Amino acid sequence: MINKILVANRGEIAIRVFKTAKKMGIKTVAVYSTADRHSPHVQMADEAVLIGEAPSSESYLKYDTIIEVAKKLKVDAIHPGYGFLSENALFSQKVADEGIIFIGPKPHAIKTMGDKLAAKEAVKNYNIPMVPGVEEPITDVPKAIEIAKKIGFPILIKAAAGGGGKGMRIVEKESEFINQMERAISEAVSAFGNGEVFIEKYIESPRHIEIQIIADAHGNVVHLFERECSIQRRHQKVVEEAPSSVLTEEIRNKMGEAAINVAKSCDYLGAGTVEFLIDKKMNFYFLEMNTRLQVEHPVTEWITGLDLVEQQIKIAQGEKLSFTQKDMKIKGHAIELRVYAEDSLNDFMPSIGKLTTYQPPVGENIRVDDGFKEGMEIPIYYDPMLSKLITYGKTRKEAIVKMIEAIDNYHVEGIETTLPFGKYVCQHKSFVSGKFDTHFVQDYYTPEVLEKYYKNEASVAAKMALQLYLEEKLEVKLPKVETNAAVKTLFDR
Instruction: Calculate ∠ Cα 175-278-395, nearest 5°.
Output: 140
Nearer to ligand ADP, 82 or 453 (CB): 82
Among 74, 152, 165, 280, contact with ligand ADP (rule: CB under 6 A): 165
Output phi, psi for 173, to 5 deg: -145, 165
Sheet with 155-159, side-by-side order of all strands: 168-171, 155-159, 197-201
Q: Which is nearer to ligand ADP, 201 or 338 (CB)?
A: 201
Q: How far is it, in rounded angstroms, from Cα 245 to Cα 249?
A: 11
CB of 259 to ligand ADP, least distance (A): 14
Segment contacting ligand ADP by CB under 6 A, of 3-11, 78-86, 144-152, 160-168: 160-168
Sign of the CA dihedral with 181 first, then 182, 183, and 189 last: positive
**Cβ-based nearer residue to ligand ADP, 198 or 268:** 198
Binding of ligand ADP at residue 231 (CB under 6 A)? no
Q: Which of residues 181-220 bind ligand ADP (CB under 6 A)?
A: 200-203, 206, 208
Cβ contact 237:295 at 8 Å: yes
Q: Is 387 in contact with 12 (CB distance < 8 Å)?
A: yes
Within a 10 A sphere around the Cβ of 255, how many other Cβ atoms?
Answer: 24
Contacts of ligand ADP in 394-433 (CB under 6 A): none
d(CA 239, CA 228): 9
Torsion of CA 243, 245, 247, 248, to 10 degrees: 100
Task: State the binding string over 429-468 for ligand ADP (x if CB under 6 A, else -).
Answer: ---------x------------------------------
Sketch the per residue contact string, 88 through 107, with ligand ADP: x for CB under 6 A, - otherwise.
--------------------
Exposure string of 393-410, with b = 16+ CB inside 10 Å and e = fewer, is bbbbbbbbbbbbbbbbeb
Which C-beta is closer to ligand ADP: that of 235 or that of 320?
235
Residue (75 or 258) nearer to ligand ADP, CB: 258
Q: Active site residue: 233, 292, 338, 367, which one? A: 292
Does the footprint of ligand ADP cover residue 156 (CB under 6 A)? yes
Q: Known catalytic residue: 292?
A: yes
211 within 8 A of 273, measured Cβ to Cβ? yes
Q: How far is 358 from 361, CA to CA, in rounded Å?
A: 10
Whole-angstrom distance, CA of residue 44 vs CA of residue 14:
9
For the bound state, the minimum distance from the C-beta of residue 303 to ligand ADP, rounded and expressed in Å, comes to: 21
Least spacing, CB of residue 434 vs ligand ADP, in Å: 17
Q: Does 163 bind ligand ADP (CB under 6 A)?
A: yes
Nearer to ligand ADP, 158 or 428 (CB): 158
Active-site positions? Answer: 292
Positions touching ligand ADP (CB under 6 A) are 131, 156, 162-166, 200-203, 206, 208, 232, 235, 275, 277, 287-288, 438
